[in-house]
Amino acid sequence: MKVRCFAFVIAVALVGAACSSSGDDPVSTPNPGTGTETTSPQVSNDGSDAATADAEEFVEGLADELEEQQAESGGGSGTLTVGDQTWTFAPLLCAFGEAEIGQAGAEFVLSGLQDGMQMYASIDTFGHLVSLDDIEDFENPKVSLQSVGDGVIMIDGKSISAEMDFIDNTSDSASSTPGTFTATCP
């Protein structure tokens, strides 16, 4: 699940976030006996997962940057209702087509960040996806919903809608719950 959350935030970065470093740059270390340097990934000797910590720090910084971009975009809103729970996000970032998104096969990307959560929707070569994830606490997320099945995101100009089934990744249950997603892009 962590990788999926990171992928969503990183994919949203393609919408327009300029990012100079991912926080997981290789570290130069001397190569014993040769006097030359080699490049290797940073490894923690204390058994902790330094790469995960670096990735979480990167996602937090990227989320802050995207929230600023959302505020500057000045518009749009989206609502996701799954079962008897509803979340509304405003403003949003949206991109349409490969040229805006910067990914081959991508048709649409939407992201809304607020209160430590990300609402995300996309149409790309993997299909149609709507999700809602806690991006502050990857170990014990408050919410982690993902669309499943063959639901379709409908686009009419800047109006977006979908009826899909969702699974709750915070639960051990494999059952899905019907939900609706509507948004208006800026």
Residue with the bigger pLDDT between 111 and 26: it is: 111
Contacts of 136 (CB under 8 A, 6+ apart): 60, 116, 117
Task: Assign 50 a pLDDT band (cuts: 50, 70, 90).
Answer: confident
Q: Each residue of 57-109: pLDDT tens digit? A: 777 777 777 777 777 766 899 999 999 999 999 999 999 999 999 999 999 99
Nearest CA to 126 out of 109, 143, 111 is that of: 109
The DSSP annotation for 35-87 comes to TEEEEE----TTSS-HHHHHHHHHHHHHHHHHHHHHHHHT--EEEEEETTEEE
Q: Report the percent of the chain where pLDDT is more than 90.
A: 56
Mean pLDDT taken over the chain: 78
Strand-pair category, 93-96 with 108-114: antiparallel
Can you give the pLDDT at residue 21?
33
The neighbouring-strand residues paired with 78 are 89, 183
Can you give the pLDDT at residue 182?
98
